[in-house]
Amino acid sequence: MNLEQFIARLRLVYELPPKQTMRKISDKLRRRGASRVYSPSLLEENPKYTQPQRMTNFLMRYEAIIKRQLPDWELRLEGRRVLEIGGGPMYGFGLVCLFRGAERYTCLEPEFNPALKMHPMAERFFWLSHKDLTALYGARMSYQAFRRAIDERIEVRPMFVEAYQEEGVADVVLSNSTLEHIQDLDGAFERLRACMAPGGQFLHLVDFGNHRDKMNPLGGLYTKPAEDYIAKEGSMINLKKPSDILEALTRHGFEASLVPYYHIDTLTETPHSWWTERYSEESLRLKVGFFVGGLARDAVCAS
């Protein structure tokens, strides 16, 4: 850890509430091998998870950004089966997908805790979400029907995508800042290829930042070869770049397009030659991007 990274972490400890500081420490330990499920106290400690507009805002914004660059693209949810990778503690995009007509929503979340659904804050979250979704999309269903849909048409599997064995069951696959945390992307894409139904589509948002310093999100990433970075900092992120993900998607039978979300204007550090020999400067500056597409015609999954 260099001096700038040390100062950044001290600043976080100073600025964050004690509960959030302890949660970050817990996350660090988990990523180094400890296993756990989401604690019920999470909903009290981190209000973002019960913010009723949060995931709807994400999805609407993502759709608008993608359509601006790919005008013919459309996320089709009506009557479709949705699979989300890493939906978090409160069903990720599940509520908005159900309200927009999805037949079923399945979430693969290794840390899922079913007790969270019984938390007093959860019912208020569901109720406010229904109010907001109704205002946005119209009175598509009553609150009673919405709650039944949550109980009957949402399924959470506490597993990683590499372990998911269903085939041909997903018409739409979504992920939100998840792919960058998967070390075995080939294993993940192999399973996603198997589980996707003909005519299926996907939308993956990938955050290429360091997930450590919001003020310098690419800081430290490129000062050493990728293997050296992971050896020192751990495997929280896989350090894959856009071309790596596109190549892996193609190899596993998908047609995919990259839609850049935003770039960092200037790299704050001179990249090691390991990076500049493999990637363009523009690629290294990409902070967030979307990968959209579907199954390739006559695709044969890589072995």
Exposure of 286 by Cβ count < 10 A (0-12 exposed, 13-18 middle, 19+ buried)?
buried
Query: Is 247 domain-assigned?
Result: yes
Say whether 205 sits in a helix, a strand or coil: strand
Q: Are residues 27 and 90 in the same domain?
A: no
Domain-embedded: residue 218: yes
Q: Which two tokens stand for residue 109?
A: 């979340």
Q: Are residues 5 and 39 in the same domain?
A: no
Q: Are residues 73 and 18 in the same domain?
A: no
CA–CA–CA angle 9, 222, 31 (5° rounding): 50
| Three-state DSSP state, 261 | strand
Count Cβ atoms within 10 A of the Cβ of residue 303 and give its class: 0-12 exposed, 13-18 middle, 19 or more buried: exposed
pLDDT of the residue at 28? 45
Does residue 21 sit within a domain?
yes
Same domain? 28 vs 159: no
Q: Are residues 57 and 119 in the same domain?
A: yes
Q: Please indicate, yes or no, whether residues 8 and 54 belong to a single structural domain of this protein.
A: no
pLDDT (tens digit, 0 to 9) for every residue of the chain, 303 residues total?
444 444 445 544 444 444 444 444 444 444 333 457 999 889 999 999 999 999 999 999 999 999 999 999 999 999 999 999 999 999 999 999 999 999 999 999 999 999 999 999 999 999 999 999 999 999 999 999 999 999 999 999 999 999 999 999 999 999 999 999 999 999 999 999 999 999 999 999 999 999 999 999 999 999 999 999 999 999 999 999 999 999 999 999 999 999 999 999 999 999 999 999 999 999 999 999 999 999 997 655 443
Quote the pLDDT of residue 36. Answer: 77
Domain that holds residue 128: 34-295
Q: Is residue 302 part of a domain?
A: no
129 and 210 housed in the same domain: yes
Cα separation, 118 vs 63, whole angstroms: 32
Same domain, 28 and 40: no
Residue 187: which CATH number? 3.40.50.150
Does one domain contain both 22 and 122? no
Pair (27, 162) in one structural domain: no
Residues 288 and 262 placed together within one structural domain of the fold = yes
Same domain, 20 and 72: no
Q: Is residue 123, in this structure, part of any structural domain at all?
A: yes
Q: Which residues pair with 157 in a beta bridge?
A: 108
Q: Is residue 301 part of a domain?
A: no
Query: What pLDDT is recorded for position 34?
Result: 41
Q: Between β-strands 104-108 and 81-85, what pairing exists: parallel, antiparallel or unpaired?
A: parallel
For the chain, helix, strand, coil in percent to 5 are: 45, 15, 40
Q: Is 100 within a domain?
A: yes
CB-CB contact of 289 with 207 (8 Å): no
Quote the pTM value.
Answer: 0.87
Q: What is the DSSP letter of 303?
A: -
User: How many domains is the chain partitioned into structurally?
Assistant: 2
